[in-house]
Structure 1
């Protein structure tokens, strides 16, 4: 992960007021093949193949939902990713161009909502579920959505998560085109790398202890990056053990 260049102008998001209406109930991060010391082996997720996107999304979500169980009927989920599951999309395209038989499994999992559907079944979540892509700071967008969703008295908590993959040449080409239009730079990850972060949010009255003040800090110059979400989750995540698993728990 690249730190913000101190020569850049101050990020205007850092001057936004703190949000006192949200509390962190649980948090988790996971990285795969990034070269970081805490990279994990890619978790096995039935029905999802080839790509790190859905397994990493499920890994961090499962850790949050297992650490802080709750009523799935009163839980909403929002997933942010600038490019989505680029590994699967590229694989499906290469197969089609080469004339190979279409694989419906690849079409299914190329949609980010697919892993949310899997999560809803495994954890009994029946609240609203959203996927979003933004060139703005992902954390800011997700916090705004959580704020809005928690105005609904039928919801107690919102799971927000983000996934970022390294991508291949097609992703790099999209980044170059966007950079040419905006003058901004994009996060540079190895092609096979993936990282994910999740934070389970609730109202202060639903969390033990004092409310946690949350505000979007962002990473200047990296539009759509989940860096700031990753940093928030890292600050609040419980240490992960080597034997940790996530039972398929229906709430």
Structure 2
């Protein structure tokens, strides 16, 4: 049976100082009590992986691991650690910026060979200042690598390319190509000028609806794939400043935790609507 799970980003638990005064275990308890299915966090250093896995699994929370590899060996070393504990999936923010498809393909094929050796998915995240920085370059990678699986964070393409709303038909078709190859999501709403806008503000509702429309398409496409198993994950990733817009005092202009709960409920309702026709 195909299911849907919503995670909370541990990075999003940081305040305007880049801190959280609660210990890790208390943060996880807060996340579990709020009804999230899991968490997203850095997942490659042995001591941190052990602590996070022990605490999260004790609360019934699943884990999306994050890694920032620059080489094939970076992933190999991380998988040696992660495989002892497992995870829902691992997402790679590939911290390289090759100028040629050939160089990028060589790296990704190396990561894909390693991914075949573990029993959890390894996905490439769409993200600025990473191997997937440019939308068109990423589409070329998808053409060259038919087995490449992405994690879609569409906010980076919207702000990075200053995409308009309503979506231009060409832009919309290109975003849908990304969604057709995506197996997980990181969720925030961007505008042409901001990577993260408050989703509760009236003036941002056209952008909220644009992202909901894309996610609707992505959920529907994932459900229709004959080779999908397990659960599709969506991480609420409302990051701290400088992602979050701040006032003159340097503090967030909204309650990001409250907005994460709102986003969780919105995407669960969207999934239910799509899954039940």
TM above 0.5, yes or no, is: no
The bucket for the TM-score relative to the shorter chain is under 0.3
The normalised TM-score by structure 2 is 0.26
Higher helix share: 2
TM-score calculated relative to the size of structure 1: 0.28
